[in-house]
Amino acid sequence: MAVNVGMASAVSCPGNIRRHIDHHPAVHVGSVSISDSDMLMVNLTSPESPRWMVHEELFEEARLVVAQTNSNSREDDVSLAVYKEIVDTLKFEKEFVSLAKESEQLLLMSVLPAGIL
């Protein structure tokens, strides 16, 4: 898989503008390629999502990843606030989903005749 960016803008420009783009380094975008091996290296070196880790109850690992990405591997107020926000958001979402399921069940029970559920 290869992704090329930048050449389409130079090809579709009128002649005078195209010459300016080709000779002006600040305007010329060029071509960027991302190969499968580049993407594999990114995937192997990137940490898992802290949100996913908290969902899987890997709390200590999640705190460390938040500290690495927000505070240069130090656990300070910023990284602890980000971690707490992740935990609180997942807790809220879990409660919201359970309330929505209960509401749906109550609605079905009130609409459907007795004995169907």
Closest CA to 67 of 53, 77, 56, 57: 77
Claim: this prediction has a pTM higher than 0.75: no
Residue 32 dihedral angles phi and psi, to the nearest 5°: -120, 130
CB atoms within 10 A of CB 62: 23
Strand ranges (E), the chain: none
Tens-digit pLDDT profile for residues 37-79: 777 776 676 678 899 999 999 999 999 999 988 877 778 899 9
Tens-digit pLDDT profile for residues 91-109: 999 898 888 888 887 777 7
pLDDT at 18 exceeding the cut of 70:
no
